[in-house]
A and B are shown apart, each in its own frame.
Chain A
Amino acid sequence: EPEVTQTPSHQVTQMGQEVILRCVPISNHLYFYWYRQILGQKVEFLVSFYNNEISEKSEIFDDQFSVERPDGSNFTLKIRSTKLEDSAMYFCASSAGTYSPDYTFGSGTRLTVV
């Protein structure tokens, strides 16, 4: 069964450092998403991406965050200057289309900011 792959599974970084979280969505999917989950709590929408641009973003997704699809397969989330409160599980997801709304989620990257 096709999978969404995320790397690394766990990243520890110092406050103020830049991090890039990587995702390989399912190959024929067109819509890509990032969500985050703080300590097993609520899953929060960050951003959606379609046709090489952000289609929607939440208030969490401020200027510190950016997304990119640098090639035909990867989808990345960059946090420019990490804060302690950025510590969370970050999930990438992809879907075939906006009217095929069930996502396939990756297994997540646990980001720890120290």
Chain B
Amino acid sequence: KAGVTQTPRYLIKTRGQQVTLSCSPISGHRSVSWYQQTPGQGLQFLFEYFSETQRNKGNFPGRFSGRQFSNSRSEMNVSTLELGDSALYLCASSLGGIRPYEQYFGPGTRLTVT
């Protein structure tokens, strides 16, 4: 089975721009979660989508948004980029459902904001 894929792998943007990151989950997985990883804050939960609905959201400003498509692929968008948004963005997929199944992570998208 193919793993979780994320595109692009690396991205350089300028302050004020917006960016869209994409995640394709493992086939059959219906839940996609997004995490931000920075040296200062560590791994922080952004949001989770299950069957095209946002099921949970972390403590991030409204500039961070996401969506999930009917094929379970997910995108996250960050508008009006700030320097502090520079981070590794990780996507994780799991079967979903009513219990926390193990999540399988993609390789991440390294975003640099200049």
Do A and B interact with each other, yes or no?
no
Binding site for A on B (CB under 8 A): none
Binding site for B on A (CB under 8 A): none
